[in-house]
Structure 1
Amino acid sequence: MGGYREGYHFKKDGYSQINTQGIDLSKYSLEELKALWRKTIQDGMHGICFSMYEDGQEPGDEISIEQVERRVKILKPFTGAIRSFSCIEGNEHIPVVAKKHGLKTLVGAWLSDDKEDNEKEIEGLIALAKAGHVDVAAVGNEVLYRNDLSLEELLGYIKRVKEALAGLDIPVGYVDAYYEFSRHPELVEHSDVILANLYPYWEGCPIEYALGHMQAMYGQVVDAAQGKPIIITETGWPSEGGGLRGAQAGPEGAMKYFIDAIRWTNENEIPIFYFSSFDESWKTGDEGDVGAYWGLWDKHENLKF
């Protein structure tokens, strides 16, 4: 595992980009590809997005600390950090349990157009941070992408959290699609760290070009970041469920994408939270069939390949 537990080594003095080449799928049998995928997982990754919900559960359900603990224990040998998306309905257990197991945390408050829930989320994030469970605080996730709040409202929440955490040495940021930081320089201005989601899949990019496309997306974030540290907060590829233009969901693509993404971010020391840990059945609604198949583990909590 080595360097993963030493925390976030941000390179503030410029960004190196070793242009990692992706693996050539035509040179691997399915068994060889699975072996390389598994070796990549076992060598460890900087971070992973926490999947909360079992079959039959969905956001809104209250999740027990026992369930969180079971899943954190499964992920612990493979990662140095865990990202959570909410601070209510049992999600507040995730950073507490992760810290107990010696993992770093990127803790998100989920913001939407529900102002009452937003209050609970913001208060929850502040409380977790003050209790020592937060290494990086994320105020909102893809709020602008979804048009849930205005930029002014969002910046208000970010400022509020920054003021509440002043003096605690916890970087505060906001998660969104990579291009939102170019569109809204104010986001960069009010963030300590730039938290960017990079999804070649959702732009219909064929798998053979996906790593290069992700590197270009990251380059766009570097251009917007004004020298501030960057974390890739989500990237991944679905293992089944159809496709989007040139992007096809499937096991070979999902394995190649993971291998390529982890190799490139390791070589460049770019902190990454891979999306996602476990397949989640409830996700089919919003994202179509592919929504349920982004995990490195299946819904029964077994490694997928």
Structure 2
Amino acid sequence: MRFTSTMLASAAILGSANAALKGFNYGAFFLNDAAKQQADFEYEFNAAKQLAGTSAAFTSARLYTMIQHGTTNTVIEAIQAAINTKTQLLLGMWASAGSDNFNNEITALKAAISQYGTSFTDLVVGISVGSEDLYRITPTGIANQAGAGAQPSELINYVAQTRAAIQGTGLAGKPIGHVDTWTAYVNGSNAGVISALDFLGVDAYPYWETTTANSIGNANASFYDAYQQTVAAAQGKAVWVTETGWPVTGPTENQAVANADNAKIYWQDVSCSLMKNNVNLFYYTLQDAQYGTPVPSFGIKPAGDLLAVDALFDLTCPN
């Protein structure tokens, strides 16, 4: 199944009123637990803009936290890197570590506003309160040892705290959302969270849909089924694609084979269609790690190669 006319219409409606955001996800630390520094973020943000073969401008970055890794509440150095490279930011507030940690996220957010002013706030396109917190507390998340999550009531409270924190600042009016799996959004017990949001960020990976036919030939249909179910549950809110991708290396998951050829097919079938139809997209990921190679590896740039500009597969979109 390909992207039908109904899906195209929905995607156009749900995209940004202006040119859609195009970016990647950026973690706060490397595989060896070393914190990314300003220079590391600048390298990544610049590398995203210099990718060969794509006509799209990948000028946006999704962060998972406001806190510099290894500190209590120091502002993450990605902020200065974004200012230096003129990179738009979808901010992240980590919400699965308890209320004390979330208070530190709020502290770092306020500090960034105070420290950087409009140089920072003008780059912010949205704030995501949490990332897959609802998924982690499901039986599937627990079985997959996904880690601590957060209850719906906690997330609703965190969203309210974030709205209060930005009131009267340069971030006032910026859309506040939450990022989770499509399965979390279609769960009716999470409807209260959706009601509290301005947008929904959905993470959808056909590669991991191991209980269904999940070969690369079915990936387009699998992704858009998840996307449309999220749209149906969104209460009219905008839906951003905050994570999706296909691994270039890794184990075979049911029928899903990880290799660069399949990643290219996924890019052309899914990523290109989202960009064509003006849906905000944060692909996972530009480069999994500068040091070491994760399993599976979703990076379109080779892990560990700081000098490589070209992707591991052709990023040209079909006409």
Q: For the superposition of Structure 1 and Structure 2, which TM-score range results when normalised by the shorter chain?
A: 0.7 to 0.9
Give the aligned partner of residue 203 of structure 2: 197
Q: For residues 221 and 134 of structure 1, what CA distance do their matches in structure 2 show?
A: 24
Q: Where do residues 118-137 of structure 1 align in structure 2 (5 Å cutoff)?
A: 118-128=102-112, 131=117, 132=121, 133-137=123-127
Give 1:16's match in structure 2, choosing from 9, 18, 43. Answer: 9
| Secondary structure, aligned partner of 1:248 | coil
Give the aligned partner of residue 157 of structure 2: 156
Letter in structure 2 aligned against 1:143: D
Give the aligned partner of residue 85 of structure 1: 64
Give the aligned partner of residue 145 of structure 1: 135
Q: For residues 126 and 200 of structure 1, what CA distance do their matches in structure 2 show?
A: 37
Q: Which moved more, 1:65-74 or 1:90-99?
A: 90-99
Q: For residues 109 and 297 of structure 1, what CA distance do their matches in structure 2 show?
A: 26
Alignment CA distance shift 1:170-1:255 (3 Å): same
Q: For residues 120 and 57 of structure 1, what CA distance do their matches in structure 2 show?
A: 24
Q: Where do residues 1-305 of structure 1 align in structure 2 (5 Å cutoff)?
A: 16-17=9-10, 46-54=22-30, 57-58=32-33, 61-77=34-50, 78-89=57-68, 92-128=76-112, 131=117, 132=121, 133-147=123-137, 148-166=149-167, 168-183=172-187, 184-204=190-210, 205-280=214-289, 284=294, 289-290=295-296, 293-299=297-303, 300-301=305-306, 302=308, 303-305=311-313
| Secondary structure, aligned partner of 2:180 | strand
Give the aligned partner of residue 23 of structure 1: none
User: What CA deviation, in whole Å up to 9, does each residue of 1:189-218 have, x standing for no partner?
Assistant: 000111111111111311111011111111
Q: For residues 155 and 204 of structure 2, what CA distance do their matches in structure 1 show?
A: 21
User: What CA deviation, in whole Å up to 9, does each residue of 1:232-251 have, x standing for no partner?
Assistant: 00000111111211211111
Q: CA deviation at 1:46?
A: 1.3
Letter in structure 2 aligned against 1:79: F
Q: For residues 46 and 272 of structure 2, what CA distance do their matches in structure 1 show?
A: 24
| Secondary structure, aligned partner of 2:124 | coil
Q: CA deviation at 1:114?
A: 4.2
Alignment CA distance shift 1:53-1:259 (3 Å): farther
Letter in structure 1 aligned against 2:153: E
Q: Is the 8 A contact 2:38 2:80 kept in 1?
A: no
| Secondary structure, aligned partner of 1:257 | helix
Q: CA deviation at 1:270?
A: 0.8
Gaps of at least 5 residues in structure 1 are: 1-13, 20-43
| Secondary structure, aligned partner of 2:42 | helix
Q: CA deviation at 1:269?
A: 1.1
State the Cα RMSD in Å: 2.6
Q: Is the 8 A contact 1:177 1:196 kept in 2?
A: yes
Q: When the two structures are superposed, what TM-score results if normalisation uses the length of structure 2?
A: 0.74
Give the aligned partner of residue 39 of structure 1: none
Letter in structure 2 aligned against 1:16: A
Q: For residues 15 and 113 of structure 1, what CA distance do their matches in structure 2 show?
A: 38
| Secondary structure, aligned partner of 1:108 | strand
Q: Is the 8 A contact 1:47 1:80 kept in 2?
A: yes
Letter in structure 1 aligned against 2:100: E
Q: For residues 241 and 276 of structure 1, what CA distance do their matches in structure 2 show?
A: 15
| Secondary structure, aligned partner of 1:240 | coil
Q: Is the 8 A contact 2:175 2:199 kept in 1?
A: yes
Q: For residues 29 and 264 of structure 2, what CA distance do their matches in structure 1 show?
A: 23
Alignment CA distance shift 1:283-1:108 (3 Å): farther
Q: Which moved more, 1:125-134 or 1:252-261?
A: 125-134
Q: For residues 282 and 109 of structure 1, what CA distance do their matches in structure 2 show?
A: 26
User: What CA deviation, in whole Å up to 9, does each residue of 1:46-75 have, x standing for no partner?
Assistant: 121125545x532xx333212221222211
| Secondary structure, aligned partner of 2:186 | helix
Letter in structure 1 aligned against 2:184: E
Gaps of at least 5 residues in structure 2 are: 1-6, 13-19, 51-56, 70-74, 138-148, 314-319
What number of residue pairs does the alignment pair up?
A: 259
Give the aligned partner of residue 30 of structure 1: none
Q: CA deviation at 1:129?
A: 5.2
Identical amino acids, percent of aligned pairs: 25
